Chains A and B, each alone.
Chain A
């Protein structure tokens, strides 16, 4: 079936099976990547999709892209990027998302106090703000809020550890500015 090969030639060819080394990497990093994405996009199914996509990118990465890859940091960076992209995509379906999100919450917890809805809406607002910020600023805020040390953040973002304080502070100033614009009364 020569045509099959002609299709293959238009795409980079890869081994049909993932290698044991890749599998080990996957098993080691999956829980943290999917958990990060779950918190970022707030939806378990979408988080899993995005996490699979993240690992697909790792799998498709050319070996020449760098030998000394900090896999964990790389995965977190790509996952955040994909997650923030997904959030930007929400805008287009904002009404649908808002309605379905609220209904889902209501279905699960019909007796939930209004504060819960308010908290969910606030999280949604935070996510939208992050998605509109400069990528590195959003990333640094997410990583720091996820409990990562300056050293871990520096490794993931490929910047020097002594610059994290400055970058983090700037990101916080920017976040606060945008948050105040969204919630003028102080939210």
Chain B
């Protein structure tokens, strides 16, 4: 009966195995074969240990990694947590690949804010919204944070919305196309590409979708009440109102090293900023259309929506009045998540939204021209490249 290599290995380290050190010592003293194997195991362990020696924690001198001390790291962690969990929509905007989904979400905001008050003409869709410009509304997410803590309520609201939506045409999966001409044919509009980029873009087509949204006013109000907003009263008349949304087919053009078409980058953190630092994605989509019953008091509902995010009634009223809700792509931007500037691009005024986080900057340039929404998004801080793309579109 001999010792096995595992017993010998543990003995060599002076660590516990299934035999005591004394038992092994006694056996080795009497067994030249096991002593020879001990020597083999010892030498191999030493070689491997030498090759892996850089894993040994440094003694005394702090490692380069510890320059990011735990407290700043925690602050960074909390920041990322909020970026990821509190503002999924703003992240969607930054992800030009899925820009159309972001647009749908924004449109849902428009819908949510545009549920009609006054009298209802059920079944008639006379008010037609078309996006003609971009508006950014800085919101204070503290009101929403309180809500997120209550998962029960969040889930109920999600259920209400998903029950209220029926798809006429479900959004299909994006697919690659070989040329701008092919993309234009698939999308039904003339795709524009920049001359400022030297490399050929990867072109993808994201099929559109259309759906109806039927308002269950009683449940929506109950949820508003439950969230502590008894002061916000939805008009009785909007019960069973139907709102139809059509999202056209979108085209994206990716420049540089970009994520693969259906690669899930949402579950990755941080390092994608370096992995895809030179990736810039241009997306273009004709304005989605939203059909609502006429006589919608959009401003009033916008005000309710803004108050819901935590604005005071007077602030919300001022903001609601400052935006033409029927023709604006409204981007609610959490105040502490990103900065935005108006910039002249492509002959119109666009918005450059930037998330100036040291480790993972992101930007999105958004503008609307001739009824088409354009976004140029990227990871990194090179927003000048986005502006060059916008200004060189042909």
Best-buried of B7, B78, B81, B305 by chain A (most CB within 10 Å): B81
Report if A34 contacts B (CB, 8 A).
Answer: yes
Report if B167 contacts A (CB, 8 A).
Answer: no
A31/B66 contact (C-beta < 8 A), A3-B109, A23-B74 known: yes
Tell me how far the C-beta of B167 lies from the nearest C-beta in chain A, rounded to whole angstroms.
14
Q: A6-B157, A122-B51 are in contact. List 19 more A-B contacts (CB 8 A).
A: A2-B220, A2-B305, A7-B92, A10-B158, A14-B85, A15-B149, A16-B146, A18-B81, A26-B73, A35-B66, A40-B55, A45-B274, A48-B359, A52-B80, A145-B56, A146-B56, A165-B9, A166-B6, A169-B5
> When the two chains form their complex, are residues B158 and A9 in contact, meaning their CB atoms are under 8 A apart?
yes
Which of B12-20, B288-296, B368-376 touches A?
A: B12-20
Measured between beta carbons, the chain A residues less than 8 angstroms from B159 are: 9
Measured between beta carbons, the chain A residues less than 8 angstroms from B26 are: none
Q: Which residue of B lies closest to A51 (CB)?
A: B73
Q: Give the contacts of A137-169 with B (CB-CB under 8 A).
A: 141-142, 145-147, 149-151, 161-169
Q: CA–CA, A168 to B113, complex, Å?
A: 62
Report if B112 contacts A (CB, 8 A).
Answer: yes
Q: Is the interface of B mostly helix, strand, loop or mixed?
A: helix
Which of B41-49, B186-194, B385-393 touches A?
A: B41-49
Report if A74 contacts B (CB, 8 A).
Answer: no
A16/B149 contact (C-beta < 8 A), A27-B70, A35-B57 known: yes
Measured between beta carbons, the chain B residues less than 8 angstroms from A145 are: 49, 52-53, 55-56
Measured between beta carbons, the chain B residues less than 8 angstroms from A16 are: 82, 85-86, 145-146, 148-149
A1/B112 contact (C-beta < 8 A), A6-B161, A27-B70, A146-B56 known: yes
Measured between beta carbons, the chain A residues less than 8 angstroms from B359 are: 45, 48-49
Best-buried of A2, A15, A49 by chain B (most CB within 10 Å): A2
Q: Give the contacts of B198-230 with A (CB-CB under 8 A).
A: 220, 223
> When the two chains form their complex, are residues A142 and B162 in contact, meaning their CB atoms are under 8 A apart?
no
Q: CA–CA, A48 to B358, complex, Å?
A: 13
20 A-B residue contacts at CB 8 Å? A1-B144, A2-B160, A5-B147, A6-B161, A7-B92, A8-B157, A9-B154, A11-B88, A16-B149, A18-B78, A38-B65, A44-B65, A50-B270, A149-B15, A162-B16, A163-B6, A165-B11, A166-B4, A166-B7, A187-B51
Q: CA–CA, A149 to B55, complex, Å?
A: 14
Q: CA–CA, A125 to B148, complex, Å?
A: 46
Measured between beta carbons, the chain B residues less than 8 angstroms from A169 are: 5-6, 8-9, 41, 45
Residues of B within 8 A of A (CB): 4-11, 13, 15-18, 41, 44-45, 47-49, 51-57, 63-71, 73-74, 76-78, 80-82, 84-86, 88-89, 92, 105-106, 108-109, 111-113, 144-149, 151, 153-155, 157-162, 220, 223, 268-271, 273-275, 305-306, 308-309, 332, 359
Measured between beta carbons, the chain A residues less than 8 angstroms from B146 are: 16
Q: CA–CA, A51 to B78, complex, Å?
A: 13
> When the two chains form their complex, are residues B17 and A162 in contact, meaning their CB atoms are under 8 A apart?
yes
Report if A88 contacts B (CB, 8 A).
Answer: no
Report if A47 contacts B (CB, 8 A).
Answer: yes
Q: Which residue of B lies closest to A15 (CB)?
A: B149
Q: Is the interface of A mostly helix, strand, loop or mixed?
A: helix
Report if A128 contacts B (CB, 8 A).
Answer: no
> When the two chains form their complex, are residues B48 and A59 in contact, meaning their CB atoms are under 8 A apart?
no
- Top 8 closest pairs, chain A to chain B, by CB: A9-B158, A166-B6, A165-B10, A49-B270, A38-B65, A3-B108, A5-B157, A145-B55
A49/B269 contact (C-beta < 8 A), A5-B157, A37-B65, A165-B15 known: yes
Q: CA–CA, A126 to B47, complex, Å?
A: 12
Report if A61 contacts B (CB, 8 A).
Answer: no
Q: Give the contacts of A164-187 with B (CB-CB under 8 A).
A: 164-170, 172-173, 175-176, 179, 187
Q: CA–CA, A3 to B112, complex, Å?
A: 7
Q: CA–CA, A50 to B108, complex, Å?
A: 35
Q: CA–CA, A86 to B92, complex, Å?
A: 25
> When the two chains form their complex, are residues B149 and A56 in contact, meaning their CB atoms are under 8 A apart?
no
A55/B51 contact (C-beta < 8 A), A9-B159, A30-B70, A162-B18 known: no
Name the contact of B144 in the complex, choosing from A4, A45, A165 (C-beta under 8 A).
A4
Name the contact of A38 in the complex, choosing from B63, B78, B106, B274 (C-beta under 8 A).
B63
> When the two chains form their complex, are residues B77 and A56 in contact, meaning their CB atoms are under 8 A apart?
yes
A1/B56 contact (C-beta < 8 A), A13-B154, A172-B45 known: no
Measured between beta carbons, the chain A residues less than 8 angstroms from B112 are: 1-3
Best-buried of B48, B148, B162 by chain A (most CB within 10 Å): B48
Q: CA–CA, A93 to B17, complex, Å?
A: 43
Q: CA–CA, A86 to B269, complex, Å?
A: 12
Q: Which residue of B lies closest to A1 (CB)?
A: B305
Name the contact of B73 in the complex, choosing from A48, A126, A150 (C-beta under 8 A).
A48
